[in-house]
């Protein structure tokens, strides 16, 4: 099958349209959640704790702050987005989320020996059963 220039050009425009739609939706949801947080804050916290009311921009700032502090940053284990797409490993998860594998490899290669040396230095008995 032959790929024509028009097909490639159409794919490029389609991709750009999807990117633009994604950005518009992200901004719209951010504004919506910021407004929702502002309403919740202003209707609950001043009455309960006596705190000041917040503005719309402060509500958006709280949404961004909570995402940075408590967000999953793409490391959730739900769903499968396809192998090798956008910095993902073969299981479909971002490459930086496979922390347990790295810790287990470190434990097998270096961790057991480091623990054994530490316990010998402290004068405690060393258990070789691996527990």
Does residue 25 share a domain with residue 66?
yes
* Domain end point (choices 21, 39, 71): 71
Q: Which domain holds residue 117?
A: 78-131
Tell me, yes or no, whether 3 and 66 share the same domain. yes
Contacts of 25 by beta carbon, 8 Å cutoff, 6+ apart: none
Half-sphere exposure of 13 (CA within 13 A, CB side): 6
Per-residue pLDDT of 11-67, as tens digits, reads 778 889 999 999 999 999 989 999 999 999 999 999 999 999 999 999 999 988 988
**Structure letter (DSSP) for residue 79:** S
pLDDT of residue 84: 46
Co-location of 116 and 91 in the same domain: yes
Nearest to 75, CA basis, from 104, 103, 101, 96: 96
H/E run at residue 9 = helix 5-49
pLDDT at 10: 72
41 neighbors 53 (Cβ within 8 angstroms): yes
Q: What is the pLDDT of residue 25?
A: 96
What pLDDT shows up at residue 124? 75
Q: How many folded domains does the chain comprise?
A: 2
Cβ contact 42:53 at 8 Å = yes
Tens digit of pLDDT for each residue in 56-111? 999 999 988 988 888 765 555 544 444 444 555 555 555 556 666 677 777 788 88
Asked which of 19, 51, 71 is the last residue of a domain, the reply is 71
């Amino acid at each position: 099958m032959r790929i024509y220039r028009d097909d490639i050009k159409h794919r490029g425009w389609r991709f750009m349209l999807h990117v633009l739609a994604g950005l518009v939706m992200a901004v719209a949801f951010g504004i919506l959640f910021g407004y929702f947080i502002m309403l919740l804050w202003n209707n609950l916290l001043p009455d309960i704790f006596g705190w000041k009311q917040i503005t719309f921009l402060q509500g958006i700032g709280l949404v961004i702050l909570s995402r940075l502090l408590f967000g999953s940053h793409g490391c959730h284990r739900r769903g499968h987005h396809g192998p090798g797409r956008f910095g993902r490993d073969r299981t479909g998860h971002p490459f930086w989320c496979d922390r347990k594998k790295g810790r287990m490899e470190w434990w097998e290669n270096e961790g057991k020996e480091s623990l054994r040396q530490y316990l010998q230095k402290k004068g405690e008995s060393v258990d070789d059963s691996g527990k």
